[in-house]
Structure 1
Amino acid sequence: MTNQTILPVDSSNFDRHAFGPDFVWGTATAAYQIEGAVDRDGRGPSIWDTFSHLKGKIKTGEHADVACEFYDRYESDLRLHKELGFDAFRFSLSWSRILPDGTGPRQGGRINEAGLHFYDQLIDHCLSLGITPWITLYHWDLPQALEDKGGWPNRKIVDWFSEFVDVCTKAFGHKVKHWIILNEPLASSVLGYFTGQHAPGRRSFRNLLPAIHHTALAQAEGGRIVRQNVSGAHVGTTFSCSPIDPFTPSDQAAAIRVDALLNRLFIEPTLGLGYPTKELPFLAGIAKKVAKPGDMDQLAFDFDFIGLQHYFRVVVEQSYFMPYLWSKDVSPLRRNVQKITEMGWEVYPESMYRIIRQFGQYEGVKKIYITESGAAFYDTVDQGKVNDTARIDYHSNYLHHVLRAKQEGFPVDGYFAWTFLDNFEWAEGYRPRFGLVYVDFRTQQRIVKASGRWFQHMLTNEKTLTQ
């Protein structure tokens, strides 16, 4: 394999206007990663509360009990977000903050009015600042009470999730029009219930197919509820995705299988195409052992947009030691890649263009937003500043390829940087820093990084920023 040549982009002259007046500029966050206040105001525990307190589950031994204290600091944080020039803020609703038992009154649970009040205030503050709220309904933090009843492998979760969506949309639908049903369903189902790398940490193939199928059903049903409850709703869902390349020409079949898992598993059922069983025969077990009559029709929903969450490409080779996929990743280090992030991910900007093109060629995809993209680097504070030029290069080069795709007619209409604040990065802990704003987790001080200033200049043409 040869390294890709990164196109030269003059970041000082990058112009938002080239993307058009209706292009959405935002940042993306998740409740568990930033809020903290995990035991306050009636919030119930989530699977990530449980998982992060188990020995050895988080690489750094940390948890998000405090995180960024966004629960208490959202007003000042959103003012900073506005100063940076972003016009949209993507955040998720903590399921267990709203429904501590996992279910609402319809199924014997209760609504936590304090939780609704927090998000109501958060939404109002966004709107008062001229920031458009984009709500993600599920960003991996399943209430522990529902995991105790079987979690996503339990068929009842479709009803549990449906009630959660119903409660949220009836509470906020008159104010919020942009709704995302699921964040990266592949990650929550496979990493949570098969590999055990993420909460709840279960490792069993027996769990995998039910978790996949029930997640896909919930995705479509959630969309139907949003459309029913929210007048003028703009509803979508998001997928983690990467172009898949074979390491050598003889690894092409392996690349096709991995592409079916990583990129096609949830989008194709949504589009009415069913699961990619031809490439992944083990998925046939869903129809044979998991699905009920009529399920395959219920998987489809006509979303207004699809969110793509893209960071890197994947290069694979054939492997006889990896069951079901019979392939494995070839690491960037093994490929002698020169530009990698702290996470060990290859910096490969052209992959952004390629993944937009891949998803944009589906007939049923009407509109695309990049709902996450970003990079973790070894940020340091020097005389009160964080000069993260590598992150500026990342965003400017990836945005170059977003613009390239848009100019070629692909319907990409927005970019949400991951992420606004340095935060708790799931099983990685606090070590990887993706934020445009540096957070000192001991003092909770915020320091705008050079990358945040770059976005501010690009979005507002202002060169100075109030700290």
Structure 2
Amino acid sequence: MRFTRDDFPPDFEFGVATSAYQIEGHAQGGAGSTHWDTFAATPGNVAGGETGAIACDHLNRWTEDLDLVRDLNADIYRFSISWARVLPEGRGPVNDAGLDFYDRLVDGMLERGIKPAVTLYHWEMPSALEDQGGWRNRDVANWFADYTELAMDRLGDRIWSAAPINEPWCVGWLSHFEGVHAPGLRDIRATARAMHHVLVSHGRAIEVMRGLGMTNLGAVCNFEWADPADERPETVLAARRYDAIYNRFFLEGLFKGRYPDEVLDGFAAHLPPGWQDDFATIMAPIDWLGLNYYTRKRIRHRDSAWPSYEDVEGPLPKTQMGWEIYPAGLKKFLVRTVQDYTGALPLYVTENGMANADEPGMPDTARIDYLERHFEAARSAISEGVPLKGYICWSLLDNYEWSFGYEKRFGLVHVDFASQTRTPKASYRALARAWRR
């Protein structure tokens, strides 16, 4: 790596992230069924019909994995709790083995000098609650608040930071409008309600954690820079509409108590009654904002029903996901977020990384270059006054990449899914040197 800790401010922190369903092995330890289990069991939804039943077997190999975080010289480990592992039905009886697992996991981080950064929801809705509408049901905000109180009453005294919901665009739009994530719907009414209820649930969870005396609470949103594919007015408007749906909807809800007009053009008829009254809850004060950033999209107008856009292939080099590598977008988002929404509020890059077709012994130069260029974009933003306080890479391990199964490898550590052997990649070793204290 072409940087070290000394190239960043003295209080800047580095970390690595995972999520529960992608690594734990959900068929173990008394966890209940989730909508991802049933989505993956439906033919055609997931590459190879693969599931998260075993994943990286982190449930049994967590000590080895935490040693990898420690040896990476990471300050922060961003992990998530599986709602259905703690509450198999989403409400009601507690799975004590699930809470005990997260208890040991948090203690294991602290024993290794790692700061636990928890996310309460990373996409696995308990099936029993999905049966009642999941994110479409207004009651989800109270269900989520109750789950938050149970989990954080047990763990919150040892948590360094907490965020309620990872990537609300994926939870709402990708899963309910595009249908490529669980629950696999393509319904505009479901989408409008899910996206709104995700934000209400976020606000309720923040209220609960404040009530428990927790601090350092934040929100984590994902972002894709949207460039118009040409200069025609309809193309520029299409790119702005994409930006409103993907990037500005959640920020405007969280920080301005409103939704963009370009989204309301499609959503207004489908939002739940009284939605305007929920912003007092949605805008519960937070202590930091996390940005997950990977790529940009080139957008053009499409003659179709709202939202009337489509993305077109761009000219830049791409990752294994087919995503353009565009580090400039990270700096643009950091600067724009400060100027338009957050001011002096601390920011974190809470996810950034790339998928590559890795095998042990491969040079891993593409990932090293990707990370170097994005760290440089972050440094440039800091030099212009952005209050960026940390950078968390995705992901510690190759894992279950949702509808892509186990083919796409984002990990700094290679995982042989047959033997569960972990092999640090060159990017892991390079970061360990760069992050050395």
The TM-score range, normalised by the shorter chain, is: over 0.9
Query: Using a 3 Å threshold, how does the CA distance of structure 1 residues 292 and 398 change in structure 2: closer, same or farther?
Result: closer
Q: CA deviation at 1:291?
A: 3.1
Give the SS at the match of 1:165: helix
Of 138-147 and 205-214, the range deviating more from structure 2: 205-214
Residue aligning to 1:298:
281
Equivalent in 213, 225, 247 of residue 229 of structure 2: 247
Inter-partner Cα distance in structure 2 for 1:422 and 1:271: 34
Q: CA deviation at 1:49?
A: 1.2
1:114-129 mapped onto 2 (5 Å cutoff): 114-129=97-112
Residue aligning to 2:13:
24
Is 1:100 aligned with 2:88? yes
Cα distance per residue 1:224-243 (max 9 Å; x no partner): 11122134x10011111022
Between the two proteins, the alignment pairs up a number of residues equal to 434
Cα distance per residue 1:57-94 (max 9 Å; x no partner): 10232111010010000001111111111111000000
Give the SS at the match of 1:416: strand
Equivalent in 181, 198, 201 of residue 184 of structure 2: 201
Residue aligning to 2:333:
355
Cα distance per residue 1:187-216 (max 9 Å; x no partner): 111122222110111221221111111111
Residue aligning to 1:190:
173
Is 1:74 aligned with 2:62? yes
Equivalent in 52, 55, 63 of residue 51 of structure 2: 63
2:20–2:81 contact (8 Å) kept in structure 1: yes
Residue aligning to 2:403:
427
Counterpart of 2:313, as a letter, is S
Give the SS at the match of 1:192: helix
1:136–1:182 contact (8 Å) kept in structure 2: yes
Inter-partner Cα distance in structure 2 for 1:124 and 1:84: 18
Inter-partner Cα distance in structure 2 for 1:119 and 1:297: 32
Give the SS at the match of 1:134: strand
Equivalent in 229, 251, 254 of residue 267 of structure 1: 251
Cα distance per residue 1:37-70 (max 9 Å; x no partner): x233321111111111211110232111010010
The structure richer in helix per residue is: 2
1:391-430 mapped onto 2 (5 Å cutoff): 391-430=367-406
Inter-partner Cα distance in structure 2 for 1:276 and 1:218: 20
Q: CA deviation at 1:272?
A: 3.0
Q: CA deviation at 1:284?
A: 2.2
Cα distance per residue 1:358-382 (max 9 Å; x no partner): 212134351110000000112123x
Residue aligning to 1:377:
356
1:193–1:200 contact (8 Å) kept in structure 2: yes
Inter-partner Cα distance in structure 1 for 2:52 and 2:76: 25
Residue aligning to 1:276:
260
Q: CA deviation at 1:21?
A: 2.0
Identity of aligned residues (%): 37
1:277–1:284 contact (8 Å) kept in structure 2: no
Equivalent in 43, 67, 73 of residue 85 of structure 1: 73
Inter-partner Cα distance in structure 1 for 2:395 and 2:368: 13
Inter-partner Cα distance in structure 1 for 2:342 and 2:3: 32
Query: Using a 3 Å threshold, how does the CA distance of structure 1 residues 306 and 242 change in structure 2: closer, same or farther?
Result: same
Cα distance per residue 1:67-125 (max 9 Å; x no partner): 0010000001111111111111000000001011101xxxxx11211111000000000
Inter-partner Cα distance in structure 1 for 2:200 and 2:341: 21
Residue aligning to 1:454:
430
1:420–1:436 contact (8 Å) kept in structure 2: yes
Is 1:238 aligned with 2:216? no
Inter-partner Cα distance in structure 2 for 1:169 and 1:186: 24
Counterpart of 1:357, as a letter, is V
Give the SS at the match of 2:400: coil
Give the SS at the match of 2:291: strand
Inter-partner Cα distance in structure 2 for 1:87 and 1:386: 27
Q: CA deviation at 1:286?
A: 5.2
Residue aligning to 1:139:
122
Inter-partner Cα distance in structure 2 for 1:213 and 1:162: 15
Counterpart of 2:342, as a letter, is G
Q: CA deviation at 1:297?
A: 2.8
Counterpart of 1:376, as a letter, is A
Cα distance per residue 1:134-185 (max 9 Å; x no partner): 0001100010110011111011111100101111111111111300111011
**Please, what TM-score do these two structures have when normalized by structure 2?**
0.96
**Please, what TM-score do these two structures have when normalized by structure 1?**
0.90
Give the SS at the match of 1:243: strand
Residue aligning to 2:138:
155
Query: Using a 3 Å threshold, how does the CA distance of structure 1 residues 85 and 386 change in structure 2: closer, same or farther?
Result: farther
Inter-partner Cα distance in structure 2 for 1:293 and 1:369: 29
Counterpart of 1:355, as a letter, is F
Counterpart of 1:92, as a letter, is S
Cα distance per residue 1:391-434 (max 9 Å; x no partner): 00000000000010011111111111000000000001110100
